[in-house]
Amino acid sequence: MRISLFALIPLTGFTASLLAGESNGGYRSHALTIDEAVQIAIKQNPNILRQVQELKRNKGLVYEAQARLLPQVTASTSYTQTDPGLVSNTTGGGRTNLDLVTTQGIAFPLSSLLSSQRSATENWTVQIQVTQLLYDGGATIASRRAARINEDAAYYTLRDTIDSTVETVRTQFYQILLNKALVQVQEESVNLLQSQLEDQKSRFEAGTVPQFNVLQAQSQLQNQIPLLIQAQNNYRISMVQLAKTLGIPAGRQYSTDEPLPVAGRLTYTQIKYDLSSALITARANRPFLKAQRSNVLSSVEQVTVSASGWKPTISANIGLRQTNSPRSAQLDNTLQGWFFGFTGSWNIFDGGNTYGSVKAARASLEENKVTLDDSTRQVELDVSTAVDNLRNAQETIAASETAVQVSQEALRLSNERLAAGTGTQLDVLTQQTALTTSRSNLVTAQFNYIAAVAQFQFATGTETKYNDTFDSPDKRPLTLTNGEANKALRSRYDSPLDPCKPATTKAKKESLTPPLGKIEFSND
């Protein structure tokens, strides 16, 4: 069974009515199917919604990181007015005794020279400047690569969150069916014990059995009723747990005995599995491992960013400027023109700050590599555990089916012996208890197999299938391809780290980080 899911989009009208619809005073208009439950979870589960925002945040960090590679255009303006006393050519606040100023034999009135100072009390400037970073030791380029790799990590984490949520929904959904089946088993047991009690009462009234038989049947019935009550309570709790995973508000859930009814039966289909091939598939498919690999690659770029502190930074700037003329008293007399230049800086000594930063970045890289190795072993453990659980559940189902058949036949024979007077009531009650236990073990084993299938598909990364599509080509960010990422990862693992030689990145044609993707949920 496959369902096409457009994940991470607002609720459709159908889903909204599915959640809010009521019928005869109940919370839902119809029982929830497993497909509907998965759809609702992908759209409303809080963990998924949080990770969607985390992906968007990392997308914003990509734009922020690559902004320094682009020209920075700034427009600025200023206006100042200064007290004339601060620009006066006189001293001591007194009057000057000079009326003329002679320059190269030409006399100028001092008042005409000082008239230009009036404009110096008011100044304005308008400027447009373009600044382009030329070189900073590779820090900005490495930062952009790290940001894109972190975006990939956020996307893979989102996929892992979706996979985990789908597994949880499937397990909780079938947990409801299990608890419902256990309620039915307990109800059948109580009904049989009730009929047994009525039969013993009739026999006692007829004088064929002692009163002890009646008391024994009544005791067995009363001991079975608490088990039925507990099964009903587990059934209600499992429905509320699923509602929480689906992100459904409480509403009137707690005012009914069946807050979230589900549709389906506790049936299973055996799957084929092989441990060795499953381990290979898990290492290649698990988004959890892909996120950890992205963290390692990001740490490699952070080493380059830290090491750039040992290198100079050079920028170029060019622009236009217009200002009032300092030699004129009129503010509308302006000077304008262009300017061009370079600025550079080189931190010759920073007290060991860059050395410490590089040392910390390399330690973080080694830490992420250890985390990746441990995560790989954890994935292998998940796969091995799922396979063991599948094998255990399959063998338990076979044994439980045989036990149910044997218990049914033993109960039939004990009833016949009791009716013929050759058996005892205790034999009947014992076989009834054995049949209840066998039925409970059978439905539990069936649930365990279904849960193990979900666990196996999650562990191998085959539970959901993703089709990386975009609304338009301009939404495809440039990032590492899978082959480039693995190649860079292997090269960094196999060769000593050189912070002066960052890993190269090629533009990929297909993105690993779609904001909205089509997801197919596989429940084969």
* 21-35, 180-194, 244-258, 322-336: the lowest-pLDDT one: 21-35
Residue 327 pLDDT grade (very low, low, confident, very high; cuts 50, 70, 90): confident
Residue 517: predicted pLDDT: 38
Choose the weakest-confidence range: 31-45, 213-227, 415-429, 439-453: 415-429
Range from 25-29, 237-241, 431-435 carrying the lowest mean pLDDT: 25-29
> How confident is the model at residue 200, as a pLDDT?
84
Q: List domains and CATH numbers for the chain.
A: 2-78+134-319+349-508 (1.20.1600.10)
Q: What is the mean pLDDT of residues 300-316?
A: 93
Distance of alpha carbon 322 from alpha carbon 324, whole angstroms:
7
What is the per-residue pLDDT for 74?
94
What is the rounded CA–CA span in Å between residue 414 and residue 429? 9
Rounded Cα gap, residues 367 and 295, in angstroms: 10
How high is the pLDDT of residue 3? Answer: 35
CA 489/CA 386 separation, integer angstroms: 29
Neighbour count for residue 516 (Cβ, 10 Å):
14
* For residues 258-274, average pLDDT: 85
Q: How is the chain split among helix, strand and coil, in percent rounded to 5? A: 60, 15, 25
Q: How far apart are CA 395 and CA 402, in angstroms?
A: 11
Closest-CA residue to 126 (of 59, 74, 89, 49): 74
Query: Region 277-303: what's the mean pLDDT?
Result: 93
Arithmetic mean of pLDDT, 296-324: 93
Does residue 37 surpass a pLDDT of 60?
yes
pLDDT mean over 380-406: 93
Mean pLDDT of 86-102: 50
Give whichever of 243-247, 332-336, 373-377, 499-503 has the largest mean pLDDT: 373-377
- Quick one: pLDDT at residue 64? 93
Mean pLDDT score, 82-107 = 55
Whether 24 shows a pLDDT value over 90: the answer reads no
Q: For residues 100 and 4, which has the higher predicted lDDT (pLDDT)?
A: 100
Cα distances from 486 to residues 290, 378, 384, 493, 494, in angstroms, run 10, 20, 25, 10, 12
In one-letter notation, the amino acid at residue 362 is R
Residue 371 pLDDT more than 80? yes
The pLDDT value given to residue 487:
46
Angle at 68 between CA 66 and CA 70, to 5 degrees: 85
Q: Which of 145-154, 241-250, 488-497 has the lowest mean pLDDT?
A: 488-497
In this prediction, residue 478 carries a pLDDT of 40
Q: Is the pLDDT higher at 457 or at 118? A: 457
Q: Taking the CA of residue 264 as centre, how many other CA atoms within 13 Å lie in the half-sphere pointing to its CB?
A: 20
- With 60 as the cut, is the pLDDT of residue 21 above it? no
Confidence of residue 416 (pLDDT cuts 50, 70, 90): confident
| Distance of alpha carbon 361 from alpha carbon 142, whole angstroms | 13
Q: What pLDDT is attached to residue 87?
A: 65
Give the model's confidence band at 89: pLDDT under 50 very low, under 70 low, under 90 confident, else very high: low
Residue 405 one-letter amino acid: Q
Supply the mean pLDDT for the chain: 79
Instruction: Output the pLDDT for position 467.
Output: 64
pLDDT at 254: 61
Q: How far apart, in whole angstroms, are the C-alpha atoms of residue 213 and residue 344?
A: 102
Residue 122 or 53, more confident: 53
The pLDDT tens digits for 185-232 are 889 889 988 988 888 888 888 888 888 888 988 898 999 899 999 999
In 3D space, the residue among 45, 444, 65 whose CA is nearest the CA of residue 241 turns out to be 45
Q: What percentage of the chain carries pLDDT values higher than 70?
A: 75
24-33, 299-308, 399-408: range with lowest mean pLDDT: 24-33
Q: What is the DSSP string of 376-420?
A: HHHHHHHHHHHHHHHHHHHHHHHHHHHHHHHHHHHHHHHHHHHHH
| pLDDT confidence bin for 253, thresholds 50/70/90 | low
pLDDT tens for 128-146 read: 999 999 999 999 999 999 9
What distance, in Å, lies between the first and last C-alpha atoms of the chain?
A: 5
Give DSSP secondary structure letters for 341-376.
EEEEE--S--TTHHHHHHHHHHHHHHHHHHHHHHHH
pLDDT score for 252: 54
In this predicted model, what pLDDT tens digit does every residue of 446-505 receive, in sequence order?
Answer: 999 999 999 999 999 888 877 654 333 344 344 444 444 444 444 333 333 333 333 333
Q: Is the dihedral of CA 301, 302, 306, 312 positive or negative?
A: positive
Alpha-carbon span 234 to 230, nearest angstrom? 6
* Amino acid 189: pLDDT: 86
- Is 60 exceeded by the pLDDT of residue 359? yes
Between 102 and 460, where is the model more confident? 460
CA distance 303 to 139: 9
**In sequence order, which residues have a C-beta less than 8 Å from that of residue 19 and are 6 or more positions away?**
11, 28, 40, 248
